[in-house]
Amino acid sequence: MSITDTHTKEGAGLQPEPSPAVGAQLLQLARPWSARLLLIAAAVLGAAVLGLLPSLIVRHVVDHNLTAHRTAGLAPAALLYLAVSAAVAMLTAAYGYLAATVAQRSLAGLRTRLFSHLLHLPTGYHDRTAVGDSISRCTADVEAIDALFSSSVATLLGQTVQLVTVTVTMLVLSPALTVVAAVFMPPVALLTGYLRRRIRDAERDTRRAIGLLNTHLQEDLSGAEVIRAFGRQTTFTNRFRLALTDWLRATNKSTFYNAFYAPGLGLLSAFATALLVWLSSRNAFDTIGVSLGTLTAFILLFAQFITPLINLGDEWQSVQAALAGAERVFSVLALPVDVHAGPAPAISKQAISKQGKDRLDHHGSPADGPALEVDRITFGYTPGAPVLHEVSVAVHPGEHVVVVGRTGAGKTSLLALLAGLYTPWAGHVHVAGCDPRTLDDAARRATLGFVPQTVQLFSGTVQDNLTLGDQTITAERARQAATLAGADRFIRTLPEGYDTVLSVSGRGTGVQLSAGQRQLLALARALVTAPAALLLDEATAVIDGASDAAFRAALHEHVTAAGTAVLTVAHRLATARDADRVVVMAGGRIVEQGTPGELLASGGRFATLIALEDAGWDWQHDLDEP
């Protein structure tokens, strides 16, 4: 069996699946707030018990005052009625407020946990998952859970306790009347069960539709410039309208079923009340001693019995939305953050030093072994379609190796493996003698500097983007890195220098940088921790020739002085001419490697590519393999 048959795409199988224990997981969120939960339960119970008294007060007034035409005792009864109602209102407000505070604290932790988990998931998961869908899980789905915790849970608990206490009181007050009212319970149960299932399915569809909508919004608005340039506004608007139609269909289905619940229960309640009144008018209860006050109190209690059912129905849509959202959230949290066959403990900078891997402090030498190494690695993104075939490369401290090759040769994949972003199907990857995936955050930053093809800036100042929140990096160190990268010159011309707020992705408030300035900033960010190794993926592709030449000269001096190992994917072959060694890739394999002089003298692929570039040909895209 081949390697490609036994390995799957990085992140394959890491697709969220509904969790069978969503309810239990939701309860775990509130577990740290058990004291407040006990207060909520006490307030709910108190409100439910006190809520029975108004009906009993009315019974007393009807039987002892109204039917006997006596006014004595009416004023105290009215005051008691008012006091009890006020107490119920205060207890209801108390447990509602407490529930909201528990929700806010619990959901803040959940949102942070989800965001952190998404950042730690394998790169393959993000390759397969739309950004908009991940955003939807962090926002709309968590907000649905928040709505459940903030109001629905308190309402559900309060109404459920009220159902129980009212039922017991009705039985004590008049078993006969309770039996008559119970005739309507089977229709209520059938209606509730039917609509509950339909609403749950509709809410699941709604959550998925919201995720798709967010995906369209994120992708299309980010690419608005391209859409306008190609005149495709109408096409993309129609595509968004189709996604919106799916959302409307799912939402309307949920709304339709929910709309019939309260009126249906209200109608059944009206039938029950009418039956009780009609039977009373026929003197059906005289023989069992049901007084007018008892009948009046029972009708009021029956209304208190039906009201929770209606409220529960109203809240059921929120419950189903929350459960559907929780399924999506917890299904992501259940995904493993690593795809190792077994657990691998994070290796710190100190641990590497103890193992003698002190290249983290730039004290290594070629005799100590390579700082960057891939050994017979095979890797691909799709099962059965490897993009790298048994590739082996080693870069020693103080050595600059440049990788060249046409588009699709596997150059970027090689750097991604060295950065620890993917797991190879076969072979080994080592950075400072360790698997890069096992480095802890501090060791990773001290070990590797990485500049990907696409530059990503973040909200904040120039300094923030250089340090990425690392408070140990001084302003002086940031300026040194910017100077080495050639970024200090333009940074000093900005309104606030290193404290200038930048426009994220070239949009929004703040100063907007050119593509070349953004790339220089990314280079400085990679250099700011003085890492043991640098991975540069076409890191000067959009920088002008003069800036590129200046950076190459500064990088050569830095590599020599600091003993940094550098692996560069070159956009310009001029970069390769200055390298200590050149690796030529084609079809996912290394076809040549050696010093620039050796490869030029051999007249092989590298020499051909140099000749083509000197002649003005786009050797990366336009030509067949040499």
pLDDT tens-place string over residues 445-462: 888 888 888 888 887 899
Whether residue 384 sits in one domain with residue 327 = no
Residue 419 domain flag? yes
- Given 281, 304, 333, the domain boundary residue is 333
- In three-state secondary structure terms, 593 is strand
- End-to-end Cα distance, the chain: 33
What was the pLDDT predicted at 553? 82
Q: What does the pLDDT look like over 66-105, one tens digit per residue?
A: 666 677 777 888 888 899 889 989 998 888 888 878 877 7
Whether residue 274 sits in one domain with residue 401 = no
Q: What does the pLDDT look like over 132-175, one tens digit per residue?
A: 788 888 888 888 888 777 766 777 777 788 888 888 888 888 88
Whether residue 610 sits in one domain with residue 487 = yes
Q: What does the pLDDT look like over 457-486, one tens digit per residue?
A: 887 899 988 988 888 889 999 999 999 888
Residue 12 domain flag? no
pLDDT at 7 over 70: no
Give the position of tokens 């707030």: 33
Residue 343 domain flag? no
Under DSSP, the state recorded for 420 is T
Whether residue 398 sits in one domain with residue 365 = yes
**Confidence category of residue 399, pLDDT binned at 50, 70, 90:** very high
Q: Decide if 372 contacts 565 (C-beta within 8 A).
A: yes
User: What is the amino acid identity at position 414?
Assistant: L
What was the pLDDT predicted at 6? 37
Q: Which pTM was predicted?
A: 0.66
**Confidence category of residue 19, pLDDT binned at 50, 70, 90:** low
Whether residue 55 sits in one domain with residue 25 = yes
Whether residue 586 sits in one domain with residue 440 = yes
Whether residue 364 sits in one domain with residue 319 = no
Residue 625 domain flag? no
Cα–Cα distance measured from residue 350 to residue 358, given in angstroms and rounded to the nearest whole number: 9
- Written as one string, the DSSP assignment of 512-576 is PPPHHHHHHHHHHHHHTT--SEEEEESTTTTS-HHHHHHHHHHHHHHHHHH--EEEEE-SSHHHH
What was the pLDDT predicted at 361? 45
- Given 289, 305, 333, the domain boundary residue is 333
Residue 317 domain flag? yes
Cα–Cα distance measured from residue 137 to residue 329, given in angstroms and rounded to the nearest whole number: 6
Cα–Cα distance measured from residue 290 to residue 575, given in angstroms and rounded to the nearest whole number: 100
What was the pLDDT predicted at 351? 43
More confident site: 147 or 612 = 612
What was the pLDDT predicted at 428? 93
Name 415's Cβ contacts closer than 8 Å, sequence gap at least 6. 403, 450, 535, 537, 567, 569
Q: Decide if 298 contacts 308 (C-beta within 8 A).
A: no
Q: Give the count of domains, the chain.
A: 2
Give the position of tokens 């290594």: 364
Whether residue 312 sits in one domain with residue 354 = no
- Given 271, 298, 333, the domain boundary residue is 333
Whether residue 398 sits in one domain with residue 280 = no
**Confidence category of residue 566, pLDDT binned at 50, 70, 90:** very high
**Confidence category of residue 341, pLDDT binned at 50, 70, 90:** very low
Mean pLDDT score across all residues of the chain: 79
Give the Cα-Cα-Cα angle 536, 542, 547 (nearest 5 degrees): 85
What was the pLDDT predicted at 315? 73
Could you list the residue range(s) of the whole structural domain that residue 328 is in? 17-333
**Number of separate helices (H) and strands (E) present in the chain:** 25, 11
Whether residue 446 sits in one domain with residue 326 = no
Indicate the helix (H) or strand (E) that contains 276: helix 233-281
Residue 148: closest CA among 310, 334, 333, 324: 324
Lowest-pLDDT choice from 13-22, 326-335, 494-503, 599-608? 13-22
Percent of all residues in the chain with a pLDDT value above 90, rounded to a whole number: 16
Whether residue 313 sits in one domain with residue 397 = no
The 533-537 sheet, strands edge to edge:
448-451, 533-537, 565-569, 400-404, 581-586, 589-594
Which whole number is the average pLDDT over 401-405? 92
- Residue 251: give its domain's CATH number: 1.20.1560.10
User: What is the amino acid identity at position 169?
Assistant: T
Which tokens in the block code for residue 126? 């993000």
Residue 462 domain flag? yes
What was the pLDDT predicted at 459? 77
- Residue 420: give its domain's CATH number: 3.40.50.300
Residue 123 domain flag? yes
Whether residue 390 sits in one domain with residue 326 = no
Lowest-pLDDT choice from 32-36, 38-42, 372-376? 32-36
Cα–Cα distance measured from residue 195 to residue 187, given in angstroms and rounded to the nearest whole number: 12
Positive/negative CA dihedral, 544, 536, 472, 109: positive
Residue 185 domain flag? yes
User: What is the amino acid identity at position 70?
Assistant: R
